[in-house]
Structure 1
Amino acid sequence: MTSVWWIRRDARLADNPALLAAQEDGPAAAVFAWSRGVHLWSGRRRAHLARALWSLREDTGGVVGVRRGDPADAILAVAREHDARTVFAAREASPAGIRAQDAVAAALEVDGRELRLVGTPYAVAPGRVVKGDGTEYKVFTPFSHAWREHGWHAPAEHADPGGFARVESDVDLDQAAAHGDADDLLAERHEFREERVLAAWDDYVAGDLARYATERDRPDLDSTSHLSVPLAYGQIHPRTVLAATAAVRGEAARRLESELAWREFHADVLFRHPSAQHESLTPALPDDAWATGAEADEAFMAWRDGRTGFPLVDAGMRQLAATGTMHNRVRMVVASFLVKDLHLPWQRGASYFRRALLDYDHAQNQLNWQWVAGTGRDAAPFFRIFNPTSQAERYDPERRYVERWVAEVDTPAYPAPMVDHAAERAVALADLKRGKEARAAR
């Protein structure tokens, strides 16, 4: 009996419960729906996705299908072609993911077929971690403790690479990757092969993980896991990561586990509060605090292009443009600069990151921006304003990171700082005070 595996954010053979369920009674007909939503992705994300799917096809003998069209149409068509009564897929928790799986389930049900959701892209499914009274956690630290106490399954066994039924494709993945590159070329190509992702992770655990706790905030040092891209595309599951760190003693492994918990906290927040993808969860400033008009647009473009005159900010934005990623400490600095020095709303920065990040994760992106803006769950208070100069001195003391990305930093070609940080900090704090007074007066 053939079942269908609907590929979502899990184009992998390792630790994939939905795929294993689809293979349980026979070969799985595997298909990814190349939908209109994917066409709206940035070129860099489309190119990387095409290569990840190409790698999966190679690993399975070239039989995995990629179909153009809405998931409901593509998945139903493949189910009919293979006379499959059941489609298996991982459960998504984002607003768009929920809409897609509801639409697929409805289309299958009308046709006498069924969608079964097995597993999620998270160690603990969003919505599962709750207080004793059944309500959500709004603060990260108690959430992380409850998350650990809840626990997770061990990684699932490796799927059978020969256990697939052929599905014809109407998307040329080589051309999709090439078109993505033409639209939005990156300076370097990130790893897209599952086997190499897993091997790189094993090497990291055996080596550089030991430095993570003390060096994770240093953009000038290569001490981080580089897991953000494979996690975003589902080429490694968090359970796989956690199974490896559980065997390692010390603060470094616990610190990395906490970062995964932070990722799952934000997925939980967005699952419970879908409006948080666009709206502030907690108000901070009055509406008239935000810069508008032509000068605001020019300021945004200077930030986007790495021309602010603040070396750490400019280095981060240029790294993002060239590679599709940015060191996490620098992400916080550039976000704070946009919101609190340039007085531009967090949504504007989040929208640009959605286009520029190769490792884009919807919940992480939107809620991390809200964290910096002081409007999210367990957010940094708005009055915590990163000083880009002191941050550079502390975390890039020899300026290796800055000099890598801003070659002209010490030449006349480099611009003067576009704002006075101390003055703009004072403006931001005054706006915060006005906002508090206005809310108290209501």
Structure 2
Amino acid sequence: MNAVLWLRRDLRRRDLPALGAAADVAGDGEVHVLFVIDPVLWDGCGPARRGWLAASLRAAAASYDGRLTVRVGDPVTKVAAFAADVGAGSVHVSAETTPYGARRDERVRARLAERGLDWVPTGSPYAVGPGRVLTKDGTPYRVFTPFSRAWREHGWAEPATAPRDLALGDDRSDDRAARRLDDALADCPVGLPTAGEDAALRRWRAFRDDRLAAYADGRDRPDVAGTSQLSPYLKVGAIHPRTMLADLAGSRSRAAEVFTNELGWREFYADVLHSNPESAWHDLRPELGSMAYDADPALVSAWREGHTGFPIVDAGMRQLAGSGWMHNRVRMITASFLCKDLHAWWGAGASHFLAHLIDGDVASNNHGWQWVAGTGTDASPYFRVFNPVTQGKKFDPQGDYVRRWVPELAHVAGAKAHEPWTVDDGYRHGYPTPVVDHAEERVEALRRYEEARR
């Protein structure tokens, strides 16, 4: 009997256990590959995110020999109807554990059960599925370091082998879906990376062979190509973390250790969200529940548009607007500025990032914001207030990153790009003066935190 493979965050053909499970069930029948554009998710995306998903879907379709069906609508009705149309007896997926994804999947599973169709989850977007790494007491971890040790001790499977003699069903996409993808690509305001699993594997291998050795020291420098920039591919599942971890197996280099740790952070935040689904948009730690927040639209708008007058903050926000991506160190700096200089609620920043980052993942994004804000997994971060000037000078020591994204400061040489107020002609091209006094707002942030803690 035919089977359906419903793709979500796994837009690839290699190392995909759900594909193997579908092929095993189908036997001499066909595997029909489906992706459903869910308006609940699609409509909340900014144009760069929609463009990246569209490009990734087109690349995935090519990897499936043009036999990927794309439909638009509520997955609850679309998946069951498609399975019935193609004569499938089962629907195969990579298990989803985000709050929305889990709720949606339960509704789809129930609809399939009404029609006598099997729901078969196999694998997940993670090396170790969320909920599997537990303390000795059988409870989830809330701190990264012990989680990381237990995660490594748990280990993960080898990359899945591709099924042989796979018979794929025809593409049954409708015109509505094709228009959505065409419009998303036409409206995308940024230059996107080359999409697809082949591109992801090329990028991974080039990074592994040429730049991994410098990763431990270079990953915090936004002015150099020190990161892998694989997060957009991980987001859509064009590559699985297990594939990378298999390549790093046995390596004892510091760089491999640090990179594995960064993959571990992704797994940790997914695990935290799985065990605390309300933490997607509510404080993980309730101790700061009485925190006083401001909501000055003009200041938040200045932050979003990259016109705060703090060069490293503005460079990061403009990089986000201009590329759909932002360097991780700068994500922390810009988040700290919004939360602790402008005293805004972390969720306002998290939602802006999720709308525009092509690698935006609710677990990593929102718990990263909570880590900065002091409401998340870090034990005592309330007193950590990033100084945007010293952070800029430390991690962009020659000002190259700032000058790239803030052309009004292109004439300011060296590290002075982080302090245009110290240069006689620093403002001659119209760069704004600082919207707040950082020293004063740091004191105010600490006052608010202490008051909330009391």
TM > 0.5 fold call: yes
1:310 paired with 2:310, answer yes
CA contact (8 A) 2:35 2:70 kept: yes
One-letter code aligned to 2:343: H
Structure 2: gaps spanning 5 or more residues: 410-425
* 1:138-159 per-position Cα deviation (integer Å, ceiling 9, x unaligned): 1110000000000000000134
Distance 1:421 1:282 in 2: 26
CA contact (8 A) 2:4 2:33 kept: yes
Question: Residue 151 and residue 44 in structure 1: after superposition, are their counterparts in 2 closer, same or farther (change >3 A)?
Answer: same
Poorly superposed stretches of 4+, deviation over 3 Å: 159-162, 171-175, 181-184, 283-288
Distance 2:427 2:436 in 1: 19
Structure 1: gaps spanning 5 or more residues: 438-442
Identity among equivalent pairs (%): 44
1:416 paired with 2:418, answer no
* 1:55-84 per-position Cα deviation (integer Å, ceiling 9, x unaligned): 122222222101122112121112112221
CA contact (8 A) 1:341 1:428 kept: yes
1:428 paired with 2:445, answer yes
CA contact (8 A) 2:94 2:123 kept: yes
Distance 2:194 2:184 in 1: 16
Distance 1:351 1:402 in 2: 24
1:217 paired with 2:234, answer no
Question: Residue 58 and residue 286 in structure 1: after superposition, are their counterparts in 2 closer, same or farther (change >3 A)?
Answer: closer
* 1:104-146 per-position Cα deviation (integer Å, ceiling 9, x unaligned): 1111100011101100000001110001110111111000000
1:395 matched to which residue of 2?
A: 395
Distance 1:44 1:107 in 2: 33
Q: Secondary structure at the match of 1:165?
A: coil
Q: Which of 208, 212, 228 does residue 231 from structure 2 map onto?
A: 228
Distance 1:265 1:338 in 2: 24
* CA displacement at 1:291 relative to structure 2: 1.1
* 1:20-77 per-position Cα deviation (integer Å, ceiling 9, x unaligned): 1111224311111112224312222222212211112222222210112211212111
* CA displacement at 1:162 relative to structure 2: 5.2
1:17 paired with 2:34, answer no
1:42 paired with 2:59, answer no
One-letter code aligned to 1:152: W
Q: Secondary structure at the match of 2:88?
A: coil
Distance 2:370 2:326 in 1: 18
Q: Secondary structure at the match of 1:133?
A: coil
1:259 paired with 2:298, answer no
CA contact (8 A) 1:12 1:236 kept: yes
2:337 matched to which residue of 1?
A: 337
User: Number of matched residues?
Assistant: 433
2:294 matched to which residue of 1?
A: 291
CA contact (8 A) 2:288 2:375 kept: no
Distance 1:380 1:174 in 2: 49
One-letter code aligned to 1:411: Y
CA contact (8 A) 1:232 1:361 kept: yes
One-letter code aligned to 2:448: D
Question: RMSD of aligned C-alpha atoms?
Answer: 1.6
Distance 1:286 1:102 in 2: 31
1:383 matched to which residue of 2?
A: 383
1:86 matched to which residue of 2?
A: 90
* CA displacement at 1:418 relative to structure 2: 1.2
CA contact (8 A) 1:285 1:434 kept: no
* 1:258-295 per-position Cα deviation (integer Å, ceiling 9, x unaligned): 01111111111111111101111124546462113xxx
1:206 paired with 2:223, answer no
Distance 2:214 2:373 in 1: 30
Distance 1:380 1:158 in 2: 46
Distance 1:275 1:31 in 2: 30
Q: Secondary structure at the match of 1:30?
A: strand
Question: Residue 197 and residue 211 in structure 1: after superposition, are their counterparts in 2 closer, same or farther (change >3 A)?
Answer: same
1:112 matched to which residue of 2?
A: 116
Q: Secondary structure at the match of 2:95?
A: coil
TM value normalised by structure 1: 0.94
Name which of structure 1's ranges 250-259 and 240-249 shifts more when overlaid on structure 2. 240-249
